[in-house]
Every structure is written in C-alpha cells, then in structure tokens.
Structure 1
Amino acid sequence: MPSTFSQIYIHIIFSVKDRNAMLHLSWENELYMYISGIVRNKGQKMLAINGMPDHVHILIGMKPSCCVSDLVREIKKASSEFTRQNKKSTSKFQWQEGYGAFSCSHSTLKKVITYINNQKAHHKRRSFQEEYQALLDRYEVDYREDFLFER
C-alpha cells in the first residue's frame, strides 16, 4: 500500500497550574485561536476547543506521525509564552504538568464536540475534578487520586 490513511481523534485536557482560575472570558477566545494555530502549524486538525477559567479541552484529528506528548508540550509552552508576552494575566501564568488524552471514535465526534462546546453549562453542575475523574473512570484509566492534581 503506497499511502497511509487514518482517522485518529484525541480529546486532550489540561489545567492551569494549581487549577487557578486564570483564563478570563475577555481573552480566552484569543488564546483558543492561538492554540488552534499551533495545532494547524503542526499539521493536525483542530476540531473543537473550549474550557473554563482553570482548564482547556481540545479535540484534534491527528496524523499517525504526530506524537501526542510532543504536541501537548508545544501547545503548553507556546501558549504560556503567548499569555505572558501579551500580559494577559497579572500573575505568572503556567499550565499544570501532565494532561489527559482520550481516543474518540468517528461515531462519537459530534457528541464530544458538543460536550467541549458546552463546557460553561456543564460546569454549573460538575467541578473540573469531578469531570476529569469521571473521564478517567469511563476510559478505565488506572490512577491514584493523590497524583491527579498538584496543590
């Protein structure tokens, strides 16, 4: 077979260091556009991005040659620099170490996109910690609660 064909969808979640509420409505769309540009420049397809003041959800269509950890590292590094250089935060902005990455099937894309797009409404009922632990449980990821979040 002379070519590679794939459909790989990854739902990525990461939070602000110590889950501080530092992403403000006044500039979150600018940050999301910047992150979307990073994803596109790395040759990947941004399908959805949204979040809350303390965390971000991203859904990406990935090429098999992409390494998730490299992409997330670049997103975090470049978006932190963007935030600091553009003086978006009065405190030192940085992302928490680690992230969640969950594979999605093509048949669930619309549901995951809707879930990401409705973060503000979703979090009126559920905290980020509850949401994240529920995702880990749904995907049957082994974890220790004492290592989930920095504080």
Structure 2
Amino acid sequence: MLHSFVRNYLHITWAVKERLSVFQSNSKIKLKDLLIEKSNEMKSSVLAINVQSEHIHLLIDLPANLCLSDFVQKVKGASSHWINDQKLVQGKFSWQRGYGAFSVSASQIDVLKKYIRNQDEHHRRKSFEEEYNEWKRNYGFFDD
C-alpha cells in the first residue's frame, strides 16, 4: 500500500475541577472558538463541540501522527491558561485532571454530532456524571 489512510474519530469529554458550573453564554462561545483554534493548530478536525457550564464535549478526527494524550494535554492546558488570562471566570480556573476519550465508528458520526449539539436538552434528563458512568460501563471500564 503506497498511502496511509487513517480515521481516528474520538469523542473526548472533560470537566471543570470539582465540576463547578462556571461557564456562562458569552464565555461558552469564546471557549468554543479557542478549542477549535487549538485543535486546528494541531491539524485535528473538530466535527462537533459543545461547551456546557461544567464540562466539554469534543468530537474530533485525530491525525495519525498525533498522540491522544498529547492532544488533550495541549488543548486543556492552553484553554485553562487562556481562561485565567482572560479572567473568564472568578478565581483561579482549572480543569479536572482526567478525561474520557471514546472511539466512534464512522457510521455513528451523525448520531454523535446530534447528541453533542443537543446537550442542553439531554442534561435536563440525565446529569453529566450519570452519563459519563454510563459510557464507562458501555465501554467496559466497570460493571454494575
């Protein structure tokens, strides 16, 4: 094979430290733009994004030459630095230490885009913590 063809569709999510609700409408838009900019700098296509008051959903196509942990570290680090510089929230801002990254089949991209776009409605029925624990069970991280 002369060329490499790689698609690494990943649904990445992470939360504000202590899951505090800190982002308001205006700061959500600014943060969304920054996350897209940082992803683009690393040549990673953002397919969907949603900034909630206490967590992020990001659907990307991660390039083959980029390590997932490096991508997340750079995006989270750059965004927390920027949030503090811009004084987008009161006090010192930081993200929780970890993150979730879940592989996505190409056949499910449109379903996941819709899911990410509809986070406001979705979280009226299910909290982020409930949702995150469900993903971990579905991906085999722990049993009930």
Q: TM-score if structure 1 supplies the norm length?
A: 0.91
In structure 1, what is the equivalent of residue 60 of structure 2?
60
| Structure-to-structure mapping, 1:95-106, within 5 angstroms | 95-106=95-106
Letter of the 2:88 counterpart? K
Letter of the 1:109 counterpart? I
Number of equivalenced pairs: 143
Runs of 4 or more off by more than 6 Å in structure 1?
A: none
Q: Does 1:132 align with 2:132?
A: yes
Structure 1 unpaired stretches of 5+: 144-151
In structure 1, what is the equivalent of residue 43 of structure 2?
43
Residues 31-40 or 134-143, more deviating: 134-143
Quote the Cα distance in structure 2 between the aligned partners of 1:141 and 1:47.
25
How far apart are residue 23 of structure 1 and its match?
1.5
Quote the Cα distance in structure 1 between the aligned partners of 2:122 and 2:51.
10
How far apart are residue 137 of structure 1 and its match?
1.1
Quote the Cα distance in structure 2 between the aligned partners of 1:43 and 1:106.
19
Letter of the 1:38 counterpart? K
* Per-residue Cα deviation, 1:81-135 (whole angstroms, up to 9, x for no partner): 1111111111211100000000000000001111111111100111111010011
How far apart are residue 142 of structure 1 and its match?
3.4
In structure 1, what is the equivalent of residue 89 of structure 2?
89
Describe the SS at the equivalent of 1:140. coil
Aligned-residue sequence identity (percent) comes to 36
In structure 2, what is the equivalent of residue 12 of structure 1?
12
Describe the SS at the equivalent of 1:94. coil
In structure 2, what is the equivalent of residue 23 of structure 1?
23
Structure 2 unpaired stretches of 5+: none
In structure 2, what is the equivalent of residue 108 of structure 1?
108
Letter of the 1:92 counterpart? K
Quote the Cα distance in structure 2 between the aligned partners of 1:51 and 1:141.
25
How far apart are residue 29 of structure 1 and its match?
1.0
Q: Please say if residues 9 and 62 of structure 1, whose CA atoms lie closer than 8 Å, have aligned partners that are also in contact.
A: yes
In structure 2, what is the equivalent of residue 119 of structure 1?
119
Cα RMSD, aligned residues only: 1.1
